[in-house]
A and B are shown apart, each in its own frame.
Chain A
């Protein structure tokens, strides 16, 4: 008899848990996600950092402190097994005032306590040796070489692909409407697509984890959204080689300046607390972006002209009551595990959270986990034309000419890349064709022109492969259709 597990939420936490639980012979794992694709919630828009683990106070936030450093170590392995785009470029936490050194000393001490290796405080000369473009006000820094960056959505996609290859079942566009509890035990999950039976329900619902918990009768915490806004600049603008942080304040790690993994200068985030009912407020604001600009300028004075921006965006972090990650089997509802309030450093901690959950299942729920004889830890990255040498492209073209045809001119994404993305979307159960699904897998539409050349071609490919009309293709799921009908629809009076 297999133990049935339902994971609610296919973000970085849910996907990591799905991957880890897919190792076990005696679990039947279902991954439930209300969005049309994976990783579209909190995981989508953040600073994409794999933090060093020095930041979280183990007395106040024991889960954050413990899981961050553990997660960092695991990501060093996971990015290789799963071929997730990454860079290990280290971070500088920059001091600009003498008294900042007190805080850096505190961070160093805390980092040592948390088990962070190889950190040290460096002087002005070494700071500029590592980062010549830094503000001249810099007088020193804390140097944390184990910090890195990954593609957060590519990471979720990789985890889910690997989980599915190992037997996990996905249910996308499936919104949880209730948790069935009988005699203090979970029995399953009610959804808009019917009932999913489960012996164990794992609540990894991000911003909505409090609402899901309440469906099971658990109401001791609340999640409120904290918004952060970002600027992303065109390629070819010189940015830092390391991740640059200001010396942190009690509420925030501060506005970061990075060159993100695709080579674009990125600045952000600020932090704005929103009321709990604004969990879908992802709008950028003039004030917020201004705040980010001013903050970033303090570290990196040579910001480009604002016209060189290619995108601004906002992300929401789920802030839980109490501030620490809530990861536990709830005693009053047998089989219900909360993985809630996974705010920063959630991306970093995700692999460690997943092992934590496996441990909870074994220890607290008494399910003896039996490893599969053949579990596949590997997943191959999607083909990226821009990473191939010309002679490799010619080898690919022999099998499929589409690999020679460029769809996205800014990022050199081929039609073959896009078709492969669509194939992979279908393989993990993506039902609604969305341009964003292709974007997150291929990088098409994310370049200088922001898709004005390639989006119509991607729409055509999605329409053909999904067998729908081009105007029914969506930008990001139902309600974001790219058109209202064929070009004569209004004149005929029969528009969609």
Chain B
């Protein structure tokens, strides 16, 4: 792999990829720690997905105040810009090269040209993408009126377009529920929210939306087919059993002109995979240590590229942690290799990050359960840690604070389990 003399070269301590909450928090923090930072974002504006999240509910932990998405984004952007972080919008990363442990190259394109940026560290905060209709096995006609929830949100809240009048929503995750309310508020009829699992997929406060707006929720159901000429006209729904197999004879049709798919997010990590970053199949994001460093030294990851979060506050928190990691990496010429404590998934834990802990710092573990339970304890037998929780749900990420001395009690590994109290 050779440098490319033909294209302009820039040089920074750290390049942050992605101008959403994780990236902006990382860039602001890195600058505060004295690093020379360039942030790149492919959109025409900063904020990532936040500018289209015009509902409240953001910032209670991070800013100690409830904000809308655009407000949250504006605060982070202000902090970042006032700190003197350099940033470029409409700048899309084409390739990441791991030239050596201490030299990374980011090639990006923008309306002013293609550039190569040499940096000591990279903080990757490129967010996630949504699963689409084909991935969840919907058959039928390929017609207008099928949108992912995020696309519908972009159309409505960035471009001012109303996608349809009679809406069926696939998935009761937060994005789907919020879009159900959004459509209802604009006078559209939300005819159904269809959820594959026997329980709703979103935060309790968002599930309330269905009651507020009188929207029918079909739990344990699946949208299997879309029919229409030109535009969606009707969708076919079937009931599924406990093994998620279709119940014969249970199908029915709902007339609608729009199908909104909110079937979950997948971390955008293609470019990391290309350079050999190890991926955790359960999070879909990279395997990381407690500095949020990936398996490629000097490449850090934060936000929904790390794992799908339900609160933007956690995303921003991860951005800052990655910035601290980058600072340490650059200062010491690498994160010291050590005997890491490996985090293992125990009973009713579907995913957990970070994956390796040093024991020299306090940190948060982020985890999700496989199935809902009431009156539980999060336990780490190797450290004796127990945290009592009244209820856990797959939809709600559990965030557990671990102190350095607790981690040090574990030898090579620690197991996180969620069990009845």
Chain A contacts to B: CB under 8 angstroms: 236, 280, 282-286, 289, 306-313, 385, 390-391, 393-394, 397, 401-402, 404-406, 409, 412, 414, 448-453, 455-456, 459-460, 470-471, 474-491, 495
- Interchain CB contact under 8 A, A456 and B188: no
Contacts of A393 in B (CB 8 A): 109, 113-114
Mark the stretch among B132-140, B357-365, B369-377 that contacts chain A.
B132-140
> With A and B bound together, what is the CA distance between A488 and B161 in angstroms?
9
> With A and B bound together, what is the CA distance between A456 and B153 in angstroms?
10
> With A and B bound together, what is the CA distance between A430 and B192 in angstroms?
37
- Taking A283-B225, A286-B224, A476-B144 as given, write out 5 further A-B residue pairs in contact, using a Cβ cutoff of 8 Å, ordered by the A residue number: A310-B135, A397-B114, A404-B109, A456-B151, A482-B144
Which residue of chain B has the shortest Cβ distance to A455 in the bound complex?
B151
Q: How distant is B17 from chain A, measured CB to nearest CB, in Å?
A: 12
Contacts of A306 in B (CB 8 A): 137
Contacts known (A459-B159, A484-B165); A450 close to B134, Cβ less than 8 A: yes
- Interchain CB contact under 8 A, B143 and A480: yes
> With A and B bound together, what is the CA distance between A475 and B7 in angstroms?
38
- Interchain CB contact under 8 A, B6 and A397: no
Q: Is B248 an interface residue (CB 8 A)?
A: no
Contacts known (A475-B143, A478-B230, A484-B165); A406 close to B109, Cβ less than 8 A: yes
Contacts of A414 in B (CB 8 A): 109
Q: How distant is A34 from chain B, measured CB to nearest CB, in Å?
A: 14
> With A and B bound together, what is the CA distance between A476 and B229 in angstroms?
11
- Interchain CB contact under 8 A, A404 and B129: no
Q: How distant is B385 from chain A, measured CB to nearest CB, in Å?
A: 35
B residues 75-130 near A (Cβ < 8 Å) are 90, 92, 94, 107, 109-114, 116, 129-130
Contacts known (A409-B92, A459-B159, A480-B144); A402 close to B111, Cβ less than 8 A: yes
Contacts of B4 in A (CB 8 A): 390
Contacts known (A282-B141, A306-B137); A487 close to B160, Cβ less than 8 A: yes
- Interchain CB contact under 8 A, A404 and B186: no
- Interchain CB contact under 8 A, A449 and B129: yes
- Interchain CB contact under 8 A, B227 and A283: yes
Contacts of B151 in A (CB 8 A): 451-453, 455-456
> With A and B bound together, what is the CA distance between A361 and B92 in angstroms?
53
- Interchain CB contact under 8 A, A487 and B161: yes
Contacts of A485 in B (CB 8 A): 161-162
Among A311, A406, A485, A495, the most chain B Cβ lie within 10 Å of the Cβ of A406
Which residue of chain A has the shortest Cβ distance to B274 in the bound complex?
A236
> With A and B bound together, what is the CA distance between A68 and B187 in angstroms?
56
Which residue of chain A has the shortest Cβ distance to B107 in the bound complex?
A390
- Interchain CB contact under 8 A, B114 and A404: yes
Contacts of B225 in A (CB 8 A): 283, 286
- Could you list some 25 contacts between A and B, CB below 8 A? A283-B227, A306-B137, A312-B139, A391-B6, A404-B110, A404-B113, A409-B42, A412-B94, A414-B109, A448-B129, A450-B132, A451-B151, A456-B154, A470-B159, A470-B160, A477-B230, A479-B230, A483-B155, A483-B164, A484-B163, A484-B257, A485-B162, A487-B157, A490-B187, A491-B187
Q: Is B158 an interface residue (CB 8 A)?
A: yes
> With A and B bound together, what is the CA distance between A486 and B163 in angstroms?
9
Q: How distant is A388 from chain B, measured CB to nearest CB, in Å?
A: 9
Contacts of B90 in A (CB 8 A): 405
Contacts known (A310-B134, A479-B229); A394 close to B114, Cβ less than 8 A: yes
Which residue of chain A has the shortest Cβ distance to B114 in the bound complex?
A390
> With A and B bound together, what is the CA distance between A459 and B154 in angstroms?
12
- Interchain CB contact under 8 A, B132 and A489: no
Which residue of chain A has the shortest Cβ distance to B109 in the bound complex?
A404
Among A283, A284, A285, A456, the most chain B Cβ lie within 10 Å of the Cβ of A456
Which residue of chain A has the shortest Cβ distance to B129 in the bound complex?
A449
Q: Is B202 an interface residue (CB 8 A)?
A: no
- Interchain CB contact under 8 A, A456 and B159: yes
> With A and B bound together, what is the CA distance between A460 and B151 in angstroms?
13
- Interchain CB contact under 8 A, B142 and A456: no
Q: How distant is B196 from chain A, measured CB to nearest CB, in Å?
A: 13
- Interchain CB contact under 8 A, A404 and B135: no
Contacts of A390 in B (CB 8 A): 4, 6-7, 94, 107, 109, 114, 116
B residues 1-15 near A (Cβ < 8 Å) are 4, 6-7
Q: How large is the interface on B (under 10, 10 to 19, 20 to 34, 35 or more residues)?
A: 35 or more
Contacts known (A483-B161, A483-B162); A449 close to B132, Cβ less than 8 A: yes
Q: Is B408 an interface residue (CB 8 A)?
A: no
> With A and B bound together, what is the CA distance between A282 and B226 in angstroms?
12
- Interchain CB contact under 8 A, B134 and A476: no
- Interchain CB contact under 8 A, A490 and B229: no
Q: Is B413 an interface residue (CB 8 A)?
A: no
Q: Is B231 an interface residue (CB 8 A)?
A: yes
- Interchain CB contact under 8 A, B186 and A487: yes
Among A313, A393, A483, A486, the most chain B Cβ lie within 10 Å of the Cβ of A483
Q: Please tell me which one of the listed residues A283, A391, A459, A486 contacts residue B162 in the complex, with CB atoms under 8 A apart.
A: A486
Contacts of A495 in B (CB 8 A): 162, 165
Which residue of chain A has the shortest Cβ distance to B154 in the bound complex?
A456
- Interchain CB contact under 8 A, A394 and B144: no
Which residue of chain B has the shortest Cβ distance to A492 in the bound complex?
B187
Which residue of chain A has the shortest Cβ distance to B6 in the bound complex?
A391
- Interchain CB contact under 8 A, B134 and A309: yes
- Interchain CB contact under 8 A, B135 and A307: yes
Contacts of B340 in A (CB 8 A): none
> With A and B bound together, what is the CA distance between A414 and B90 in angstroms?
11
Which residue of chain A has the shortest Cβ distance to B131 in the bound complex?
A307
Which residue of chain B has the shortest Cβ distance to A479 in the bound complex?
B230
- Interchain CB contact under 8 A, B144 and A481: yes
- Interchain CB contact under 8 A, B111 and A309: no
Q: Is B199 an interface residue (CB 8 A)?
A: no
Contacts of B165 in A (CB 8 A): 484, 490, 495
Contacts known (A285-B139, A307-B135, A452-B147); A401 close to B111, Cβ less than 8 A: yes
> With A and B bound together, what is the CA distance between A451 and B155 in angstroms?
13
Which residue of chain A has the shortest Cβ distance to B273 in the bound complex?
A236
Q: Is B156 an interface residue (CB 8 A)?
A: yes
- Interchain CB contact under 8 A, A397 and B143: no
Contacts of A450 in B (CB 8 A): 132-134
> With A and B bound together, what is the CA distance between A232 and B112 in angstroms?
35
- Interchain CB contact under 8 A, B230 and A456: no
Contacts of A482 in B (CB 8 A): 144, 155, 161, 163
- Chain B 300-339, CB-CB to A under 8 Å as 1, else 0, gives 0000000000000000000000000000000000000000
- Interchain CB contact under 8 A, B162 and A487: yes
Q: How distant is A284 from chain B, measured CB to nearest CB, in Å?
A: 4
Q: How distant is B355 from chain A, measured CB to nearest CB, in Å?
A: 23
> With A and B bound together, what is the CA distance between A439 and B155 in angstroms?
19
> With A and B bound together, what is the CA distance between A490 and B7 in angstroms?
51
B residues 338-394 near A (Cβ < 8 Å) are none
> With A and B bound together, what is the CA distance between A385 and B111 in angstroms?
13
Q: Please tell me which one of the listed residues B111, B186, B187 contacts residue A405 in the complex, with CB atoms under 8 A apart.
A: B111
Q: Is B283 an interface residue (CB 8 A)?
A: no
Q: Is B150 an interface residue (CB 8 A)?
A: yes
- Interchain CB contact under 8 A, A453 and B107: no
> With A and B bound together, what is the CA distance between A412 and B270 in angstroms?
13
> With A and B bound together, what is the CA distance between A402 and B230 in angstroms?
31
> With A and B bound together, what is the CA distance between A186 and B158 in angstroms?
54
> With A and B bound together, what is the CA distance between A311 and B181 in angstroms?
29
> With A and B bound together, what is the CA distance between A482 and B159 in angstroms?
12
Q: Is B206 an interface residue (CB 8 A)?
A: no
Which residue of chain A has the shortest Cβ distance to B229 in the bound complex?
A479
Q: Is B289 an interface residue (CB 8 A)?
A: no
- Interchain CB contact under 8 A, B144 and A456: no
